[in-house]
Chain A
Amino acid sequence: MIRSAENDMSRKEAVIRTERVTKIYDSGEVQVEALKGIDLEIDPGELVAIMGASGSGKSTMLNILGCLDYPSGGNYFLDGIHVNDLDRDQLADIRNRKIGFVFQGFNLLARTTAFENVELPLLYSRQQEIGDPAQLTRQALERVGLSDRARHYPNQLSGGQQQRVAIARALVNQPAIVLADEPTGNLDTRTSIEIMATFQELNRQGITIIMVTHEHDIAAYCRRVIEFRDGWIIRDQEVPRPHDAGKDLEAGRWKTASQPGERP
């Protein structure tokens, strides 16, 4: 483990804990080992960026963390639940209760209003007491600042607004973690910073966020960066002074790229 043991002891129970998690894709003759034994712990309230080139295993890791896929070996505990033991339906319930997804392509249902999109996870909920769905939906939209867009369809919203609807949808079930797969990949720099400001604000409210990105200036807004290469974690470190997206917006930082060296 890369982090020190004493540090772990002092913290609360980790929301995500993996023990030697492997993933092998078996396509007949060729076996591809996408993950080669990942030990990872993420505590409640963290804002983590997972980085790495394509093929590094970061997407595979995200699928496993998101309970969309089973690990080939090792153990995965999410919020204390041993995910390996669960069947397909139980995995679906875990995704519904514990995980909020945000995707690169927004993945909103077309011809469906923002409100209905955000409401959707509540419709699939099997929990007895989830409260009033309409109330929860309005609250989630309010948290991302889109109360006035509830009746809009995705094609009537900008990319940034669509992504914020997706974030509201991820939040509506009050999940243990929010998993974001390149949430700014389809957005321009300014909108990207706006989305990061939303994530930082939510994180300050105590929500655990894990996002995959390959942009260093986006990762710079996170408090911890984990880098994958060839199925291994090669770097896992705290960001000493994360950028503040809110301040960057005020300062107009998107006009002059924050790290000029990164831009061609």
Chain B
Amino acid sequence: MKWKNLIKVAFKSIIKNKMRTLLTMLGIIIGVGAVIVMVAIGKGAEQRIQNQIASMGTNLIMIFPGSMQSRGVHMGPDQGVQLTLDDVDKLKKNSTLLEAVSPVVRSGVQVIGGSGNWNSSVWGVSEQYLEIRDWEMTLGDFFSANDVRAQNKVCVIGQTIVKNLFANEDPLGQQLRLRNVPFKVIGVLKERGQSSFGQDQDDVIIAPFTTVYYRLSGQPHIHQILARAASLEQMTQAQAEITAIMREAHKLPEGEDDDFTVRNQTDIASTAQETTKVLTILLASIASISLLVGGIGIMNIMLVSVTERTHEIGIRMAIGARSRDIMVQFLIEAIVLSLSGGLLGVLIGFVSTYIVHLATDWNTVISLENVLLSFGFAGAVGVFFGYYPARKAASLNPIEALRYE
């Protein structure tokens, strides 16, 4: 039979059994729809994490004191060698790949000022900190190199502090008392919200590290050094350079373990990204199972249909249908069923994804690749599960098929 006629016969048979057609397609519709929704949710989460990583400042490098391990013995932070301001100076002087370097001296403090008091932490940093973190100001200015040199008692505060202490007034120019040391508020940071690890990034007071180091902290060491590599491409080289300079500064002999740790933000964030990737794969596999079940549904109905239509197959054979004609008719039926089911599934997937997005405010991403893949998979399911029933139909004996009632 000609292809045009085969397709015509298959389509007529599909249209003639609307209820059966719909029921058969239902499995595929749900399967494809589920795959699209699940992957859209997974991909959305992945993208969200990616955006957060980008917002963290990707060429940020962090140096922590203490090595993970020293001669097989894990060291506590106080037992290891601490980072010093001398390290910061050496990094500034000797590095070629770093754009900016800042020490971080952290101290938990009770803040008094404005409308009451608040427990927060004060970070002592250099004037380059804003640039290193890629942060922005909404009000006032960040402190200058002069402020750092002169140990000026000035600070920049985050939105949480503003909300809690200066709800109804302009914070600029106000005084905050940290451990009885008065600081003048000269700027307000732009709101940053929660970090991907759940920290409130706005609950912070930032002041010159010299002021914090000498007047507040009382501890003779710094907690962390932050640096910004000149370019993203040179992150690895920059980290190697930092390691070399730090080993030199700490006079570590060859073979000795590092007494500090160099990491970048992407290392940390990529772990989170890996997690969401696994989540996406997990969601996709669960959804794929429903697609598979949909395929088995097609096979089931097609098998029933072959039995139910044995007599019809007999008639077709009697008037001259070859085995191949019957086989192709049933195969086309299966493929058309699964493809139109796939098409409807894509449609329903789009709609459900949108509903999920509206209802939960989750990020969702529908990629063309994903749509084509699940659609193609639906077609493959049709061929795979349609083949057996089609072959069964084609191998019927015309006499017995005709006699079958």
Contacts and interface: CB of A to CB of B under 8 A. Distances in A.
Interface in B291-335: 311-312, 314-325
A101 B324 contact: no
A95 interface: yes
A2 B321 CA distance: 36
B323 A123 contact: no
B190 interface: no
B241 to A, nearest CB: 77
Contacts of B1: 123-126
A237 B323 CA distance: 39
A178 to B, nearest CB: 12
A68 B398 contact: yes
Contacts of B402: 68, 103, 107
A69 B311 CA distance: 17
A169 interface: yes
B399 A69 contact: yes
A190 B323 CA distance: 39
B16 interface: yes
Contacts of B314: 107
Interface in A60-95: 63, 66, 68-69, 88-89, 92-93, 95
Interface stretch (A108-116, A144-152, A193-201): A108-116
Contacts of A69: 399
Contacts of A126: 1
Contacts of A57: none
B319 A121 contact: yes
Given A63-B399, A68-B399, A69-B399, A124 B320 contact: yes
Size class of the contact patch on chain B: 20 to 34
A123 B322 contact: no
B179 interface: no
Contacts of A110: 312
Counting chain A CB atoms within 10 Å of each CB, the highest count among B311, B314, B320 belongs to B320
Contact of B318 (A93, A95, A111): A95
Contacts of A93: 320, 322
Given A89-B323, A123-B9, A124-B1, A66 B318 contact: yes
Nearest to A92: B322
A110 B320 CA distance: 18
A226 interface: no
B263 interface: no
A209 B122 CA distance: 107
B399 A169 contact: no
A81 B319 CA distance: 18
Nearest to B401: A68
Given A109-B315, A112-B12, A116-B12, A121 B320 contact: yes
Contact of B319 (A88, A111, A112, A124): A124
B316 A120 contact: yes
B8 interface: yes
B320 A125 contact: yes
B315 A107 contact: yes
Contact of B317 (A92, A103, A169): A92
B324 A96 contact: no
Contacts, number: 67
A101 B318 CA distance: 7
Nearest to A101: B318
A95 B320 contact: yes
A141 to B, nearest CB: 16
A116 B320 CA distance: 15
Interface string A96-110: 110001010001111
Size class of the contact patch on chain A: 20 to 34
A126 B322 CA distance: 10
A109 B315 CA distance: 8
B225 to A, nearest CB: 81
A36 to B, nearest CB: 20
Contact of A68 (B5, B312, B318, B325): B318
Interface string A199-222: 000000000000000000000000
A169 to B, nearest CB: 7
A124 B398 CA distance: 15
A111 B16 contact: yes
A220 to B, nearest CB: 28
A203 to B, nearest CB: 21
A227 B395 CA distance: 34
Nearest to A106: B315
A108 to B, nearest CB: 8
Nearest to A126: B1
Contacts of B2: 123
Nearest to B9: A123
Contacts of B317: 92, 95
A116 B16 CA distance: 13
B318 A124 contact: no
A66 B325 CA distance: 19
Rank and list the top 3 A-B pairs by shortest CB-CB distance, nearest first. A96-B320, A123-B5, A111-B16
Interface of B: 1-2, 5, 8-9, 12, 16-17, 311-312, 314-325, 398-399, 402
25 contacts: A68-B398, A68-B399, A89-B323, A92-B317, A92-B321, A92-B322, A92-B325, A93-B320, A95-B318, A96-B319, A96-B321, A101-B319, A107-B311, A107-B402, A109-B315, A116-B12, A120-B316, A123-B2, A123-B5, A124-B321, A124-B322, A124-B325, A125-B1, A126-B1, A173-B320
Given A92-B320, A109-B315, A124-B319, 9 more contacts: A68-B398, A68-B402, A89-B322, A95-B319, A97-B320, A107-B315, A111-B16, A123-B2, A124-B325
